[in-house]
Structures are given as C-alpha cells and as structure tokens.
Amino acid sequence: MPEKAVTQKALCYIVRNGGLLVFRHTDHSYEEVGVQVPGGTIRPGEAPEDAALREAREETGLTDFRVVRKLGEAEYDISPLRFEIQRRHIFLMELLEPTPLRWSSQEGHDGTQPPTPFECFWVPLTAGHILQSGQGALLGRIFD
C-alpha cells in the first residue's frame, strides 16, 4: 500500500466569553461536513501562525485576530475522504472585533474556484466535542 501524503494544516480555536467560533458549509449537510473551526493548508514557505491568521480571515470574513499561543500539534488520518495524514498546528486565537451571534461568510479561494458559502456562529466551549474529524483534539489545552 502506498504511503499516505502528509499535509501541514493550521487550525484556529477562536475563543470569546466561553464560546468557540465555528462554521458550517451551507451548501452541504451536517452529515457530509459537520461543524468545523477555521483552518486550512499551510502554503509553502508560510509560517503556521500566518496561515492560521489567513485562514481565520478567509473563512469568517473578519479581519482583527490575534494569535494568543500555539497549543500544539496533532495528526489526523482523513481517509477515506482523501488518502492523507493531516499534521495540524493548532492555535488559540482572540477576535478583537464585535460579531453577531451568527453571520454568513464565504471563502473566495483566490478566484481559483467558485466561492464556498459558510455560516459562522459561536458554540459553548463545552460543546467542542461536536467538531468534525478530530478538530477538537486539543481544546482542553486552552485551560492549561
């Protein structure tokens, strides 16, 4: 069996007043993609912290974020969706601008494909177990 590719990802735990910022794809069901935190692929030569800030901005439509600290790294085998291991660099982040409880956003993909529509919203940190594909693996480290 061929070796699985390893992709470097940045994930954002954006926390405010006991809530965690999450999103869902509005053009796919929960059963297909679940609830996620902002995050994505780290580009070649990009620092993981910079990727986290970029992904948070791209997926939420907001701009005023600050990285508080890196919580660590975790690996996740995304198979059978894709034949890859994701090495996730996970960051605790702060949002420095106001938001409604829910809002619509979209990721533009640098114009390389049609925009992906999202609904962003806050869930209690204690509900972090609802995150898809092991994205909540390091939520407990927020309190360290």
pLDDT digits (tens, 9 = 90+) for 120-138: 999 999 999 999 999 999 9
pLDDT digits (tens, 9 = 90+) for 19-29: 999 999 999 88
Share of the chain residues as helix, strand and coil, in percent rounded to the nearest 5: 20, 45, 35
**Cβ 116 vs Cβ 38: under 8 Å:** no
**So where are the chain's domains?**
5-143
CATH topology of domain 5-143: Nucleoside Triphosphate Pyrophosphohydrolase (3.90.79)
CA distance 72 to 12: 11
CA distance 115 to 96: 25
**104 SS3 class:** strand
Task: Identify the pLDDT of residue 109.
Answer: 77
Q: Which two tokens stand for residue 64?
A: 């005023």
Pairing of strands 19-25, 116-124: antiparallel
Whether pTM > 0.85 for this model: the answer is yes
CA distance 60 to 114: 16
